[in-house]
Structure 1
Amino acid sequence: MEIVISNQALKWFKEDIGLTSGDTLRFYTQIYGNSPVQKGYSLAFTVEEPVKVAVSSQMDGILFYIEADDLWFFDGHDLHVEYDEKEDELEYKYVKP
């Protein structure tokens, strides 16, 4: 599994969330919502230090990661994070390798 952050999404994280080099952002599972890979669960993010990283990607000194406890959510899919300019929001795509 891998995490792919588009350049536009990285720009959004920097400008809207205020991330800078040295920061760490965790993608985690929420118990409500829906996603294409898990019914009744959705994906969220928070800025926090990692504990047990299962998958990570680093861009401009920012670590994007998923903890081992949340790996089940992805069901073998890669996570692609993109930015939808029209909706002015992030878009998560789950891609089977």
Structure 2
Amino acid sequence: MELSITQPAANWFISEMDLSEGDFVRFFVRYGGHGGVHKGFSLGISTNNTPNDPATQVVKQGITFYVEKSDAWYFEGMNFHIKYSRKFDDIDFVIK
């Protein structure tokens, strides 16, 4: 699994979540919601939880974006790309 985030997407997270250099953004699997990858599961987002056992991580503007190994099953055989949609002024998760 590869994790990537575009600069505009990182800027969106920083602005929307009031993040500062040294902060963390975790993407985790949660039961319910609309995810599209695995029926009945979707992605959740939490901030400022120090990574315990990251499967993958990327640092943009001093912010660490990561997925723990315990949630890596959700992305098995796929890559996780995070982009910003100007049209919707929102984040777009691309998992393929």
Q: Structure 2 length as normaliser, TM-score? A: 0.91
Divergent runs of 4+, >3 A: none
Query: Matched residue of 1:26: which SS?
Result: strand
RMSD: 1.1
Compute the displacement of 1:19 (Å). 1.4
How many residues align? The count is 95
Distance 1:92 1:49 in 2: 22
> Is the 8 Å Cα contact of residues 8 and 84 (structure 2) preserved in structure 1?
yes
**Which residue identity does 1:56 align to in structure 2?**
Q
> Is the 8 Å Cα contact of residues 27 and 66 (structure 2) preserved in structure 1?
yes
Distance 2:23 2:86 in 1: 24
Structure 2: unaligned runs, 5 residues or longer: none
Q: Structure 1 length as normaliser, TM-score? A: 0.90
Distance 1:34 1:4 in 2: 21
- Within 5 Å, which residues of 2 pair with 1:46-57? 46-47=46-47, 48-57=49-58
Distance 1:30 1:88 in 2: 24
